[in-house]
């Protein structure tokens, strides 16, 4: 009997190796999802006072801001009972668009159909998520958190236009 085999049972060692291989493969898959496929988790970016949105320079005029023409845009979007402000967002195809979403009143949801954009909109917090719309078209977004009578009608649209047709936000 060697000193080695007395430390860890043969079967136990095998299961340790299998578990380690499994963990390593999960880590590789997370890496592929995050870096190669661009899968990301929406984050709560910062806090904001829902009662003071109108006094905040960024939230008093929600909508699209151009950071780098044709390449980088940000969208400030407010959810409130029972609408999104603004309802219509226009961005060029192929640009990276970062959404900042918050609520003026109660909890809502923000989900863009046919994409992986989906975040809970919690008053007091700013949800941050990014996406590149590769193809021109209309992408509808909806509220996913039941918020009362007008919930079902709470929606908007992102109009993704060819870069050469983009004439600025709104
Ligand atoms: Cu709702």
3-state secondary structure of 9: coil
DSSP 8-state secondary structure symbol assigned to residue 116: S
Q: In this predicted structure, what is the pLDDT of residue 170?
A: 47
Instruction: Mark the residues whose beta carbon lies below 5 A from ion ligand 1.
Output: 143, 147, 151, 154
Q: In this predicted structure, what is the pLDDT of residue 88?
A: 97
Return the percentage of the chain with pLDDT > 90, whole number.
Answer: 79
pLDDT at 63 over 50: yes
Q: In this predicted structure, what is the pLDDT of residue 3?
A: 53
| Region at 20 (left for phi over 0; alpha for psi -120 to 50; beta for the rest) | alpha
pTM of the model: 0.79
Rounded Cα distance between 130 and 78, Å, is: 16
Ligand 1 mean position to 80 CA, how many Å?
Answer: 9
Burial class (CB in 10 A: 0-12, 13-18, 19+), 99: buried
Burial class (CB in 10 A: 0-12, 13-18, 19+), 46: exposed
Mean pLDDT of the 149-163 span:
96
- Binned at pLDDT 50, 70 and 90, residue 2 comes out as low
Under 8 Å between Cβ of 170 and 66: no
Ligand 1 mean position to 31 CA, how many Å?
Answer: 34
User: For residue 58, which phi and psi values (nearest 5 degrees)?
Assistant: -80, -35
Ligand 1 mean position to 129 CA, how many Å?
Answer: 19
- The residues with which 136 forms a beta bridge, in sequence order, are none
83-140 residue pLDDT tens: 999 999 999 999 999 999 999 999 999 999 999 899 999 999 999 999 999 999 999 9
Ligand 1 mean position to 101 CA, how many Å?
Answer: 14
DSSP strand pairing (72-80 vs 96-103): parallel
Ligand 1 mean position to 115 CA, how many Å?
Answer: 19
pLDDT at 7 over 70: yes
Q: Which CATH architecture has domain 43-165?
A: Sandwich (2.60)
Under 8 Å between Cβ of 121 and 109: yes
Ligand 1 mean position to 82 CA, how many Å?
Answer: 7
pLDDT at 46 over 90: no
Burial class (CB in 10 A: 0-12, 13-18, 19+), 92: buried
């Amino acid at each position: 009997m060697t000193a080695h085999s007395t430390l860890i049972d043969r079967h136990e060692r095998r299961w340790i190796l299998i578990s380690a291989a499994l963990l390593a493969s999960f880590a590789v898959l997370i890496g592929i999802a995050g870096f190669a496929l661009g899968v990301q988790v929406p984050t709560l970016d910062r806090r904001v006072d829902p009662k003071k949105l109108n006094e905040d320079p960024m939230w008093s005029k929600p909508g699209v801001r151009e950071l780098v023409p044709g390449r980088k845009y940000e969208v400030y979007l407010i959810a409130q009972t029972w609408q999104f402000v603004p309802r219509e967002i226009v961005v060029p195809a192929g640009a990276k668009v970062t959404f900042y979403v918050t609520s003026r009143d109660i909890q809502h949801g923000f989900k863009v159909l046919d994409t992986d954009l989906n975040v809970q909109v919690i008053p007091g917090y700013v949800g941050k998520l990014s996406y590149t719309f590769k193809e021109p078209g209309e992408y509808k977004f909806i509220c996913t958190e039941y918020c009362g009578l007008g919930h079902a009608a709470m929606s908007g649209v992102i109009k993704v236009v060819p870069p050469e047709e983009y004439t600025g936000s709104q």
